[in-house]
């Protein structure tokens, strides 16, 4: 069964500290892996997209890693800010060879709270 699991479910850190969020998946065949940031009450916004051949990608203070062999990804946030408080969702795209587009499999997210 295609699944995406994220850990921890929630996390509280102090402003200025670093943190790492984890994502494990069993999606096959794999197309790409995305990390989204979702502020409370708003739609998800893309942070990074990585294909099979990419093992790291950065977007400002956000750095995502991908190990396609172990089917694991992480999102590292450096020097956290209060505005980083949000839910972070890992999404794996299931390659659909027979169709014109692929299917996105969503994790349940990690809720991050950055405190002053």
Partner 1 sequence: EAQVTQNPRYLITVTGKKLTVTCSQNMNHEYMSWYRQDPGLGLRQIYYSMNVEVTDKGDVPEGYKVSRKEKRNFPLILESPSPNQTSLYFCASSFIGQGTYEQYFGPGTRLTVT
Nearer to partner 1, 18 or 108 (CB): 108
Residue 111 is a binding residue for partner 1 (CB under 8 A):
no
Conformation bin of residue 79: beta by default, left when phi > 0, alpha when psi is -120 to 50: left
Residue 106 is a binding residue for partner 1 (CB under 8 A):
yes
Q: 84 by DSSP, 3-state: which? A: helix
Write out the DSSP string of 17-35. --EEEEEEE--SSEEEEEE
Question: Are the C-beta atoms of residues 102 and 93 closer than 8 Å to each other?
Answer: yes
Residue 114 is a binding residue for partner 1 (CB under 8 A):
no
Using CB under 8 A, which residues numbered 50 to 89 contact partner 1? 51, 89
Which listed range, 10-18, 22-30, 68-76, 107-115, lies at the site for partner 1 (CB under 8 A)? 107-115
Nearer to partner 1, 44 or 114 (CB): 44
Residue 109 is a binding residue for partner 1 (CB under 8 A):
yes
Q: Prior bond to 37 cis, omega within 30? A: no
Nearer to partner 1, 109 or 114 (CB): 109
Beta-ladder partners of 73: 23, 66
Write out the residues near partner 1 by the rule CB under 8 A.
Answer: 4, 31-32, 41-46, 49, 51, 89, 93, 95, 100-109
């Amino acid at each position: 069964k295609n699944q995406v699991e994220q850990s921890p479910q929630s996390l509280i850190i102090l402003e200025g500290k670093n943190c790492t969020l984890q994502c494990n998946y069993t999606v096959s065949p794999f197309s790409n892996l995305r990390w989204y940031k979702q502020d409370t009450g708003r739609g998800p916004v893309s942070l990074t997209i990585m294909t099979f051949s990419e093992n790291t990608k950065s977007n400002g203070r956000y750095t995502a890693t991908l190990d396609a062999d172990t089917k694991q990804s992480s999102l590292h946030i450096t020097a956290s800010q209060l505005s980083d408080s949000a839910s972070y969702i890992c999404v794996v795209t299931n390659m659909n060879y027979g169709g014109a587009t692929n299917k996105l499999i969503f994790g349940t997210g990690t809720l991050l709270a950055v405190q002053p």
